[in-house]
Amino acid sequence: MSDDENTTTSTVTFTPNTSEKIQSALQSLTTIVNPTLSVTSSTTPLSILNECQIYAQIAALLRSPNSGAGDNNLCRWLYDTFQSNVADLQLTILRFLPIIAGVYLSRVAERKPQAGFEAVLLALYAHETTTRAGEPVTVTIPDMSHPSVYHESKTTVNKNNATDRNIAVLSPLLEPHGTVRSTRRARIVGVAFELFYSKISQMSIAPKIDFCKFCKIWAGQNGDMYKYFEDEDDEEDEEESNEVKIEKDKESEEIKRGRVPMPWELLQPVMRILGHCLLGPNNKNTKLFEAASEACRCLFARAMHDVNPNAILPMRSLLRLSKNIDEFDATEPPKTDVISL
Partner 1 sequence: MESNGDREFCANGTCMKTAEVEAKLDQGNIQDAETALRDGLSLTSEEARALLGKLEYQRGNVEGALRVFDGIDLKAAIQRLQPSLSEKPAKKGPSHAESPSSVTQHAASMVLEAIYLKAKTLQKLGKFNEAVNECKQVVDAVEKVFSQGIPETQGDNRLQEIVSCAVELLPELWKQAGCYPEAIKAYRHALLSQWNLDNNCCARIQKAFAAFLLYSGVEASPPSFSGQVEGTYVPKNNIEEAILLLMIILSKCSLGKVKWDPSVMEHLTFALSICGETSILAKQFQELMPGVYHRIDRWNSLALCLSGAGQNKNALSLLRKSLHKHERPDDLVALLLAAKVCSEDPHLGAEGAGYAQRAVDKAQGVNEHLKGVALRMLGLCLGKQAKVASSDFERSMLQSKALQSLEEAVRLEQNNFDLIFELAIQYAEHRNLAVALRYAKQFFDKTGGSKLKGWRLLSLVLSALKRFSEAEVVTDAALDETSKWEQGPLFRLKAKLKIAELRPMDAIEIYRYLLALVQAQKKSSGPQSLSSQFGMV
Ranges within 158-177 binding partner 1 (CB under 8 A):
159, 162, 166, 168-170, 172-173, 175
d(CA 172, CA 136): 4
Nearest distance from residue 17's CB to partner 1, in Å?
A: 28
Site for partner 1 in 80-139 (CB under 8 A): 108-109, 111, 139
Site for partner 1 in 196-225 (CB under 8 A): 197-201, 220-222, 225
Which residues touch 308 (CB under 8 Å, ≥6 apart)? none
Using the minimum distance from each CB to partner 1, give the nearer residue, 36 or 151.
151
Using the minimum distance from each CB to partner 1, give the nearer residue, 40 or 340.
340
Residue 171: count of CB within 10 angstroms of its CB: 19
Amino acid letter at 163? T
What region does 153 belong to: left with phi over 0, alpha with psi -120 to 50, or beta?
A: beta
Instruction: Say which DSSP state 148 is in.
Output: B
Q: Which one of residues 185, 211, 218, 299 is an interface residue with partner 1 (CB under 8 A)? A: 185
Site for partner 1 in 269-328 (CB under 8 A): 271-272, 275-276, 278-281, 283, 301, 304-307, 309-310, 312-314, 316-318, 320-321, 324
d(CA 308, CA 310): 6
Angle between helix axes 97-108 and 115-132 (nearest 10 degrees) is 120
> Would strands 137-141 and 166-171 be described as parallel, antiparallel, or unpaired?
antiparallel
Nearest distance from residue 93's CB to partner 1, in Å?
A: 18
Size of the site for partner 1 (CB under 8 A): 84
Q: Which one of residues 13, 40, 242, 331 is an interface residue with partner 1 (CB under 8 A)? A: 331
Which region among 18-26, 46-54, 119-127, 265-273 touches partner 1 (by CB under 8 A)?
A: 265-273
Using the minimum distance from each CB to partner 1, give the nearer residue, 66 or 158.
158
According to the binding rule CB under 8 A, does residue 248 interact with partner 1?
Answer: no
- In sequence order, the β-bridge partners of residue 139 are 168
| 74 alpha carbon, distance to own chain's centre | 21
Site for partner 1 in 226-245 (CB under 8 A): 237
According to the binding rule CB under 8 A, does residue 268 interact with partner 1?
Answer: yes
Considering only CA atoms, which of 224, 225, 220 is closest in space to residue 256? 220
According to the binding rule CB under 8 A, does residue 183 interact with partner 1?
Answer: yes
Using the minimum distance from each CB to partner 1, give the nearer residue, 37 or 228.
228
Which residues touch 64 (CB under 8 Å, ≥6 apart)? none
Nearest distance from residue 201's CB to partner 1, in Å?
A: 5
Using the minimum distance from each CB to partner 1, give the nearer residue, 77 or 226.
226
Site for partner 1 in 6-65 (CB under 8 A): 9
Could you tell me if 294 and 212 are in contact, meaning their C-beta atoms sit under 8 angstroms apart? yes
Q: Which one of residues 37, 157, 244, 246 is an interface residue with partner 1 (CB under 8 A)? A: 157
Using the minimum distance from each CB to partner 1, give the nearer residue, 83 or 322.
322
Considering only CA atoms, which of 169, 166, 148 is closest in space to residue 157? 148
Amino acid letter at 320? R
Q: What is the dihedral of CA 86, 211, 34, 84, to 10 degrees?
A: 10
Nearest distance from residue 86's CB to partner 1, in Å?
A: 21
Considering only CA atoms, which of 233, 226, 223 is closest in space to residue 320? 226
Using the minimum distance from each CB to partner 1, give the nearer residue, 39 or 339.
339
